[in-house]
Copies of this chain bind each other. A is one copy, B any other.
Amino acid sequence: MARAHIDMELRWGDQDRYGHVNNVAYARYLEEARVRVFGMGSAREATGMEGHFRDEDHGGSKMLVANQQIEFLGVLEYAKQPITVELWIGRLGGSSLEVHYEVVDGSAAERRVVARAVTTMVIVDGETLRPVRLSDEGRTAVEPWTDAPVRMRRG
């Protein structure tokens, strides 16, 4: 029912020659949001979702991106205010989970969503890269952060 909030600095270099934040940078923001939630446990909230799916330093398991869709709703300008990535679990499968997001412009006076996105993550064995089932602890951990799927115009 709740969303994790990840505040994230923009970099001047995220802009392209059009003078806006480039679409490729958004994919980087989503990756960083996932790492902070599932790896570092450094979102604004103590979500308890870290450490269940990624164990990169011990070869235990990895989260691979199987599919990612991003809808761009408006132009984002480089600014000193951090953006906020709102992140939740939109669907839970046997060995996969869907991460849903809204990206909020930090420099706008009102809440302005500049992008919506969905990433399908597959949990795989660190060596074989074969899918492994989500553990019961992992399922329990993400349950409080599960909510209705984000709505996009397309797809």
- A side interface size, CB within 8 A: 41
Whether A62 sits at the interface, judged by CB under 8 Å, is yes
Known interface pairs A24-B28, A72-B66. Does A80 touch B13 (Cβ–Cβ under 8 Å)?
A: no
A34 vs chain B, min Cβ distance (A): 9
Select from chain B the residue with minimum beta-carbon distance to A26: B27
Whether A70 sits at the interface, judged by CB under 8 Å, is yes
- Bound CA–CA A23/B122 (angstroms): 13
Contacts of A19 in B (CB 8 A): 17
Known interface pairs A24-B31, A72-B66, A72-B67. Does A16 touch B13 (Cβ–Cβ under 8 Å)?
A: yes
Residues B13 and A22 in contact, CB atoms below 8 Å apart: yes
Q: Give per-residue flags for A9-26: 1 if the beta carbon is below 8 A from chain B beta carbons, else 0.
A: 101110111110011100
User: What residues of chain A have their CB less than 8 Å away from a CB belonging to chain B?
Assistant: 8-9, 11-13, 15-19, 22-24, 27-28, 31-32, 35-36, 39-40, 42, 56, 62, 64-72, 75, 80, 120, 129, 152-155
